[in-house]
Structure formats: C-alpha cells, structure tokens
Structure 1
Amino acid sequence: MQPSTFAQRIQLIKKWGYQVISLDELSGMHQSKQYGVHQAAITIDDGWAGIEQFMVAELAKHAMPSTLYLSSYYAEKQVPVFNVAVAYLMWSQGGSIELAGDSYLYQLTHKRQLTTQDISSREAELSFEQRQTILQELAQICCVDIQQWQHAGRFRYLDIAALKRLQENLCKIELHTHRHTFPQDDRTTAELEVERNRQWIHEHLGESTHHFCYPSGEYVPAQFDWLQSLNIATATTTHNEIVSPEDHPLELPRIMDSNAVSSLEFEAELTGFMTLLRKLR
C-alpha cells in the first residue's frame, strides 16, 4: 500500500469517529459480547520492512495502537523473502529465463527454459543455502545487484531492532507462524510452527502472544481445537467483513485493505454499508 493511501485511510477512520483500540481490548469485548460504538483494531500481516516507515509511523502520529502478525523465520534470517523475490525477478524477464548448461538452476531442474512455477514448485524441498544460491544466480541473470537489495531492505522483513521500535510505537507483535505455513493435515507440524513463532517473539521481543493470523488466510475449522490447545484467544482470517458477536473467536473476519481498494469502497466497508449489501444478496 502506498503511504499516501494509508494516510487517507487513517483520516477516514477519524472522520467516521472510530476509536482505535488494541486487539486485546477487542478480544475482551468479543468474549463478553459487549461492543462499544465505532471501535476498531488495526492489524498488519507478515512483517515487511517498509511498514515501519509509513504504516506504524503514521499510526504513532495519531497515538493509534496496532498489531503486527509476524512470521519470524525471515525476521531472523534477514534475507529477501524467497518466493516474493523470485516472482519479481522472473516477472522482470517476462516470466521465463534461458539457462546455461553449467548453471546451478539447470543442474537442479534439468531444464533450459525455466518458468516461475518451475522454481516455486520446488521451494519446500530447498534448503536455506540452496535458496540463497538460486537468488544469487537469478539476480545475476537479471542484472540485479542483490547486495543493494539487502542494503535497501527490499523484499525483506523487519529486523529485531526495528521490531522493538514498533513496540515503542504502540504496535503489539503477535503470531503468524515461524515459516508462514500452517498445514491442515499435520497437527504436529502446525503446532510446532506456532510454538517456534511464539518462542522467537518472546525470546527476542519479550512479548506474550495470544493472537494468531492464518498464513494466506488458509485454514479448516478442525484447526480451532489445535489453536485452543495452544491458548490462542483469537485468530483472524482474510474474510472481508466487520466482526460481529456471532463470529467464532478463531475465525474473525477483517476489512481487507490494499491499493486495489478505492477510498469509496473502504468507506463503504468501514460504515457497514457493504455488510448490509452482502446480507441482502
């Protein structure tokens, strides 16, 4: 989202008289089924480096609390997020590249013509070192200085020092799994992802965490029991809607915002007009 767009959103929130509250406060209200009038909690997903400069800084100007759902793996590693960086580099080449016979990617895939899907489909089986080698090679093919990326923080998550600055500006750090994955068919792995995420946040940031966001909004109701066993109070989805007292605390909707959402659409969501329209359909 562009900084100017986000600043406009804050002005709309103020225009309609919304009081921005913490996620803990919203959770308490949801549990008691007693909501105040015109109250909202602001949540941010993942942990991209750019949010410090405009999102959290803008919120701090208005003394508005927020919550960052952090995937801790890339905050720890401090390298470009692999799938996003690969997608960008491949996009810059029209979605495919030609490989030389001695290239690492050719030895890995045995393909001369490589597409984005050829790389992304193998991501889960690649080690950290292999991913970095692939990024280095792709950057070289695309004539991109990846060291400059690193210096500028492109496609990178916030580091520990930056996350601590967020905390000083009323931003609470909460759970989004360690590696941005929450498998639906493997309870042990899913719970380990949350526990590693929680441990990392507590160890490096001193936060006690009780709120969760499903990676990519993907989940099944059977996972509610898993989260309850981990003492998770709320879990947010990517369902575009205002929270109501009837919503399950581990299946909370949100108003999903991005540059693709016009100011008029955002205002319609904020005022509940879109909620009314969806109910009438």
Structure 2
Amino acid sequence: MESSAGVLKKIKKGVLGSARGCGVFSLVQNSKWRRDRLLILGYHGVAIDDEHCWKPTLFLHPEYFRDRLRRIGRCGCTVLPLGEALERLYASDLPERSVALTFDDGTYDFYKHAYPMLKEFGFPATVYLTTFYADYNRPVFDVIVSYILWKRRCAFLNLKELTGENLRFELSTEAARLRATRALLAFSSRRKLSAEDKDDLVVRLADAVGVDHQEILAKRILHIMTPREIGAVASNGINVQLHSHRHRTPSDRTLFLREIQDNRTRIEALTGSRPTHFCYPSGVYDDAFLPWLRDAGVESATTCDPAIATRSCEPLLLPRLVDSSTLSALEFEGWLTGVADMLPHRARA
C-alpha cells in the first residue's frame, strides 16, 4: 500500500501540473508576492560515483544538477550571493525571482562537479563548511559506514570480529543496515575512538563485507575538500560559511560556542574572511541556540524546513528547500516560481 506521503506527493504534482498548464506558474513568478520572497536552495552532494543511488534524498547525479542550473536560468531567476540576498530581503529590495544557492559540508564532490558547473553558469554560491575533516583527508566516519554497508547489500555482517559484540545483520534491508550503522557508531562513541581508530574500523568493516576501501579513498567519496581546494573556490566567487567544526550542535552553551569558534577560526585561516552565516548540521535546531548564535556574532542561520523566506522570517531560523533526486523537475520549477510554497508541505526538521 502506498504511503500517505506518496499519495500527497502525487496530488501535489497533479496540482502543479495543472497550475503550469493554466498559466499560474507564469502569473505567480512575475508577481510582487514572489518578488518579496527569497528561495534559498540547499544541496548536499553531486555524486562522484553511485552516492545518488545510496542517498537520493541527499545526492544528485551530475547531469541532474546541471539540469537544475539550466532551469534556474530558464525561469529568469536572479541568483544572488547569500549575504546580499539576505540584506536585500530585509530591506525589501529583492530583484525578481530571487534565489540563493547553498551547499552543505564542503565535500570534494562540490569541487569536482558543482563548482565547475556554477562557474559555467555564472552563479554565485555559499558553502557551509564543516572543518575538522578538511585537515584530515579521510571519508567522514558516520556516513562512510552507512555507505559501505549499502554497497554490500547482499552480505551478512557479524560484528564479533569488529567490536566484540555477537550481533549479526543481513544487509539486504534498509532497516537492518540502519541498525548495523547505529551499532557501529554507538561502539565508536562508547570507546571514544580517535580519528585514526575510526579509520581502522572503517578499513576492517570494508574488508569484512568485501568493499574496496582503496577505491573509495582514490575517488575521494565523502571526503571534505582539502585546504588548497577550499582556498581555490573561496578566491573564485564561492562564499565559505559556518557549519560547525565537527558537524554537531551540542546542547551545552560552552560546547556549542566552541564549535562555532573552532569552525570560524579555521575558515578565517583558509579563506581570509570572517564567516557570519551558519547552517544547522543535519537541519537540527533548537530555540535555545538562537541567543548563543547572536552572542557568537552570527547574522543568519538556515534550516532544512522547506519554504520560501520572507521579511517576517527570523534570520536565525531561515527556511530552505533541500533539493534532491526525489524532487521532480515539475516540483523544482514549482518552487522557483513560488507556486509550490503555496501548497501544504511538511517541515523537514
């Protein structure tokens, strides 16, 4: 039986198709209502290999991403740098069909695929950079564990030799892979594994299920950009901003502010600019964070809640549409025009 979310998606696509056919898209995109609003688009990754098959909600195939940029241009959108876009939003001075492009984490696939395409189309963009792994040229631990388990969906995994726990998982189902991932992350947390120990665990996990770990390293899948690459994009039109140092938002004020400060210090060293805009890691936020961010001199913060920003939005809780392989071209154009924002939609986080 189809889920309620699937049924709702079909209904929305039907409404959007009718709206486009009846000229509503054109009417709304040229309206003062749309001109007073800013669509902040969020991206996580443009696949190097098969990441879009592993996590279609996070990754796009390169040609899929190129098509998005074409549609942004064909819709007559004005793509603004994030800082300028926000200044003009709150000053009631936005141009027609304003859009800001943002990319989370700062992974190598941005440098390899997204950055050249952005230059080709002449679009500015912001990278929300998590900095710990920028100096540590290895895949990000939490996500590489999940990716390796997905790569060997036909395998069985016994954690006995990896963690000492007699836990067996048949990796053919998503639920089982999620349980296995959680078990490995919990083990890492309990043992307080160092970065080197986590690397060793990943190598042994790949061997246990028959995945070529060296190929992942060679392709730099799920790696953060190197300092050289970050400097290169920052000096060529890409604005680098805050995403926490270790991709986390502690509930303790001191630890939270340390994440921001460590992140900012490293970004300043890499780019020569002081970052003042923030993106909540994994879209997780709390009202308690707002005064802490203000204390840290943060001017804006984006969520993963899908909506188009207006002047009435709290600057530290800005909505953002996270684009993905699961969003059809029709739905994407619906957001560019503003029509999709008029339809009911669930908060992502």
Shift in Å at residue 99 of structure 1? Answer: 4.5
Q: Which of 140, 152, 157 is equivalent to 2:207?
A: 140
Shift in Å at residue 140 of structure 1? Answer: 1.4
Q: Which has the higher contact order (CA 8 A, sep 6+)?
A: 2
Tell me what 1:118 maps to: 183
SS at match of 2:344: helix
1:158 aligns with 2:216: no
Measured at CA, do residues 271 and 123 of structure 1 come closer, stay the same or move farther in structure 2, by a change above 3 Å?
farther
Q: Which of 69, 77, 91 is equivalent to 1:10?
A: 69
Amino acid at match of 2:263: N
Q: Which of 246, 249, 254 is equivalent to 1:182?
A: 249
Partners of 1:278 and 1:144 lie apart in 2 by 42
Amino acid at match of 2:68: R
Contact 1:66/1:170 (CA < 8 Å) preserved in 2? Answer: yes
Please give the TM-score of this superposition, normalised by the length of structure 1: 0.91
Partners of 1:105 and 1:91 lie apart in 2 by 19
SS at match of 2:199: helix
Aligned residues: 273
Task: Using the aligned pairs only, state the percent identity.
Answer: 30
Amino acid at match of 2:223: R
Amino acid at match of 2:90: Q
Tell me what 2:95 maps to: 36
Tell me how large the CA RMSD over aligned residues is: 1.8
SS at match of 2:322: coil
Q: Which of 195, 201, 204 is equivalent to 2:267?
A: 201
Amino acid at match of 1:122: F
Contact 2:163/2:187 (CA < 8 Å) preserved in 1? Answer: no
Partners of 1:148 and 1:96 lie apart in 2 by 21
Partners of 2:62 and 2:245 lie apart in 1 by 27
Q: Which of 124, 148, 154 is equivalent to 1:89?
A: 148
Amino acid at match of 1:116: T
Q: Which of 171, 174, 177 is equivalent to 2:238?
A: 171
Q: How does 1:235-250 map to 2 (within 5 A)?
A: 235-250=301-316
Q: Which consecutive aligned stretches of 4+ in structure 1 deviate over 4 angstroms post-superposition?
A: none
Amino acid at match of 1:269: W
1:274 aligns with 2:333: no
Contact 1:65/1:170 (CA < 8 Å) preserved in 2? Answer: yes
Shift in Å at residue 192 of structure 1? Answer: 0.4
Measured at CA, do residues 122 and 29 of structure 1 come closer, stay the same or move farther in structure 2, by a change above 3 Å?
farther
1:105 aligns with 2:153: no
Q: Which of 101, 109, 113 is equivalent to 1:54?
A: 113
Partners of 1:259 and 1:135 lie apart in 2 by 27
Residue-by-residue CA offset, 1:106-132 (whole Å, 9 max, x unaligned): 2xxx32536222112234332212211
Residue-by-residue CA offset, 1:169-216 (whole Å, 9 max, x unaligned): 311110000010012x21111110010000011112222101000000
Amino acid at match of 1:111: N
Contact 1:27/1:233 (CA < 8 Å) preserved in 2? Answer: no
Measured at CA, do residues 196 and 142 of structure 1 come closer, stay the same or move farther in structure 2, by a change above 3 Å?
same
Amino acid at match of 1:248: E
Tell me what 1:258 maps to: 324
Amino acid at match of 1:97: L
Partners of 1:133 and 1:256 lie apart in 2 by 33
Please give the TM-score of this superposition, normalised by the length of structure 2: 0.74
Shift in Å at residue 58 of structure 1? Answer: 0.8
- Show structure 1 runs of 5+ residues with no match: none
Tell me what 1:130 maps to: 197
Shift in Å at residue 30 of structure 1? Answer: 3.0
Contact 1:90/1:96 (CA < 8 Å) preserved in 2? Answer: no
Shift in Å at residue 96 of structure 1? Answer: 5.0
